[in-house]
Structure 1
Amino acid sequence: MSSSPAAPARVTLVGAGPGDPDLITRRGLRALATADVVLYDALSSNDLLDETPAHCQRIFVGKRAGCHYKKQEEINELIVSTAREYGHVVRLKGGDPFVFGRGQEEKAYAEAHGIPVEVVPGISSCISLPELQGVAPTSRGYADSFWVITAHTRDGGLSDDLFRAARSGATVIILMGLGRLDQICALWDAEGRGELPAMVIQNGSRPNEKCWVGTVNDIAARVAAERDKGPGIIVLGETVRQHADFGAYRAIHTSQL
């Protein structure tokens, strides 16, 4: 039978950032330093586990598109049970907990069971990874706004917002969509936007990062031939012209016409 925790049960949802462990916030590091249990997913850097105390239990719960080590319902229950048994639980999530991270579901479940929850926002991949490539999601003369969309709906179909976004002049940033890149590009091409600049970033901010620039009508085949199984984002819009490699891409593409 477990002994009562030294401290009251509580949960902190911490955004780990896009991958580079240096991109977590100071507040996130302070939470890890006082954790009795950390539940971490496949998108947060394992280096961050070194920031936890020696007594801290580290439990992998593996949330990644196409690779769910535990179901969301199991994670919710584990958050509550470990908080009651051990005290302070840090739920460490890649990016920001509330940007397609289901953090609100975890927060609501813990609070419904009487456990207080603190939220530590994280740097989302949707803005940080384009920025690290020198591409601003919004920029004067390129785009006045940006959309952030998930490629997957609950029933496994494409989001209706993708169809709307294909007609927008905004920068469109798509998360969890690499497996459907060809379908997504086909939507833009069907709107007569096959020459729109496009960028794909995989394993962003990590040592094994890959980045492709091109246009809607050619990038999907190149990415499919070269990408691995890591997470990635898709950026569609005129702002991709700001990437340092886009000029060279256009020069090569034009010479082949």
Structure 2
Amino acid sequence: MKNQGRVYLVGAGPGDPELLTLKAVRTMGLAHAVVYDRLVSDEILALIPTSAHAIPVGKAPKSHPVPQERINEILVELAQAGQTVVRLKGGDPSIFGRGSEEAAALHAAGIPVEIIPGITAAQGAAAVTGVPLTHRGLATGVRYVTGHCRGDSPLDLDWAGLADPQTTLVVYMGAANIREIATKLLEQGLPTSLPVMAIANATTPRESRIFSRLETIAVEIAAARLEGPMLFVIGSVVSLYRSCPAEVMSVFSYGPLREAVNA
């Protein structure tokens, strides 16, 4: 009988392979199998050892070719076969990555599991744009929310609580619903001129950014047709983008940027 394997839930970060933790890189090098999401960048996928079995299980809006229940089963089956498994997730496994659900399924099957955190997309976007998530006098806190609900069901968020002018709002997976999100926040009293940043493929050579206002972001996103994982930062801190020193912007430039500044 084979020895039981173990599973590592590894955060792949926002896309730049240099933002992986040392522990994540070392663990990937030990893997017999790597089960990866759609949001993991090509640059990071290139680090998977050729000896490892790479298994894609990515989801897209309204397209779930491998249901979450089946992903849980795959992880359990691989570990029970004695393999060291890396479950590679974009960003951080515990922030909108369903890592806790997978960990629960593995624990229930008696599989050892370890979570290796990653830099989440919000942190990556803040680093490459110079837009801080908090700033004295502008934002005393930050909230992460999902703009896409389970099973494509309607959004059910605490709009009154989210419409706090002293809080930076970061919306993950919100491209399809940004019009509704902006409308709800405006209805709760946030100003039409509140700056918004949309960033796709943050920290990669395919990065694109749009800087806009809450009243116009939905129209501009539809016109721009940005591709890839997208994040929205909503709040007064976005106004600090222009104050980011040029030398800092050059250091954090990952390739040609499609950029529209309308704020």
TM (norm. structure 2) is 0.87
Match of 1:182 in 2: 179
Change (3 A) 1:53 1:203: closer
1:207 pairs, out of 176, 180, 205, with 205
Match of 1:116 in 2: 112
Change (3 A) 1:133 1:73: same
Match of 1:57 in 2: 53
Contact in 1 for aligned 2:196/2:238 (Cα 8 Å): yes
Aligned ranges for residues 46-195 of structure 1 at < 5 Å?
46-154=42-150, 156-190=153-187, 191-195=189-193
Q: What is the CA–CA distance in structure 2 between the aligned matches of 1:92 and 1:110, rounded to whole Å?
A: 15
Displacement after TM superposition at 1:168 (Å): 4.5
Q: What is the CA–CA distance in structure 1 between the aligned matches of 2:180 and 2:49, rounded to whole Å?
A: 45
Displacement after TM superposition at 1:113 (Å): 0.4
Gaps of 5+ in 2: 245-259
Change (3 A) 1:192 1:14: closer
Q: Look at both structures and tell me which one has the larger radius of gyration over its CA atoms.
A: 1
Residue identity opposite 2:20 in structure 1: I
2:218 pairs, out of 207, 217, 220, with 220
Contact in 1 for aligned 2:165/2:236 (Cα 8 Å): no
Change (3 A) 1:52 1:230: closer
Q: Deviations over 1:147-199 (max 9, x none)?
A: 11111333612132344202442010010111111111112222251111111
- Select between 181-190 and 63-72 the one with higher mean Cα deviation: 63-72
Residue identity opposite 2:158 in structure 1: D
Number of residue pairs the alignment of both structures matches: 246
Contact in 2 for aligned 1:37/1:57 (Cα 8 Å): yes
Q: Deviations over 1:63-89 (max 9, x none)?
A: 343332310000000000011124101
Question: Counterpart of 2:23 in 1: which secondary structure?
Answer: helix
Residue identity opposite 1:83 in structure 2: A
Contact in 2 for aligned 1:199/1:212 (Cα 8 Å): yes
Displacement after TM superposition at 1:91 (Å): 0.2
RMSD of Structure 2 on Structure 1 (CA):
2.1
Residue identity opposite 2:171 in structure 1: I
Identity of aligned residues (%): 37
Q: What is the CA–CA distance in structure 2 between the aligned matches of 1:210 and 1:188, rounded to whole Å?
A: 24
Gaps of 5+ in 1: none
